[in-house]
Structure 1
Amino acid sequence: MATVPTQIRIDADIKKQATDLFSTLGLDMSSAVNIFLNQCVLRGGIPFSVEVPQYSHEVLEAMEEAKRISRDSDIPGYTNMAELKKALEA
């Protein structure tokens, strides 16, 4: 099978995350892209649903609250379950 070089533009952060994920799976970026393209050809389209999620108002509010909490340095964080459990029992 002959191969050809291909260039694509990818967001740097997404590329890093994908590279780390693929590495965990024992793949490199080229292999992962080849798997994706082969699945597109085999299925005659994109091999997964492409859609805009329709979250409820409550879920969207919870997501915003989680983002706010994760960025708030005044809210304590815990590195293990024992610390969290101790804080909850206090």
Structure 2
Amino acid sequence: MANTTQICFRIDEEVKQNAEKALDDMGLTMSAAITVFLKKVGREHRIPFEITADPFYSAANMERLQRAAAQMERTGGTVHEIGALSDDD
């Protein structure tokens, strides 16, 4: 048997429960799934899936929200359609 080590980390209980249910449906234990993940990271030297930012926090959306807030202040708190904002607003 290969040398083994133990890793301890904290994770939100709901995240853990959801993952355990999904992994159980796949016939995997949490330990087996994490081992698969870490072996792939070690072999490929990358995270084995795409990691993207929430588009809500993108620079373009933050600018759009700031323009909408400015428009609301100018118009007394009413914005009927954000998409109608021009680049000048």
TM-score for the superposition, normalised by structure 2? 0.57
State the partner residue of 2:14.
Answer: 13
Structure 1: segments with no counterpart, 5+ residues: 58-90
Q: Distance in 2 between matches of 1:14 and 1:53?
A: 18
State the partner residue of 1:75.
Answer: none
State the partner residue of 1:25.
Answer: 26
Q: Give, in angstroms, the shift of residue 3 of structure 1.
A: 0.9
Q: Give, in angstroms, the shift of residue 5 of structure 1.
A: 1.3
Percent identical across equivalent pairs? 29
Using CA pairs below 8 Å that are at least 6 residues apart, which structure has the higher relative contact order?
2
Amino acid at match of 1:25: M
- Greater C-alpha radius of gyration: 2
State the partner residue of 2:4.
Answer: 3
- Paired residues, number: 56
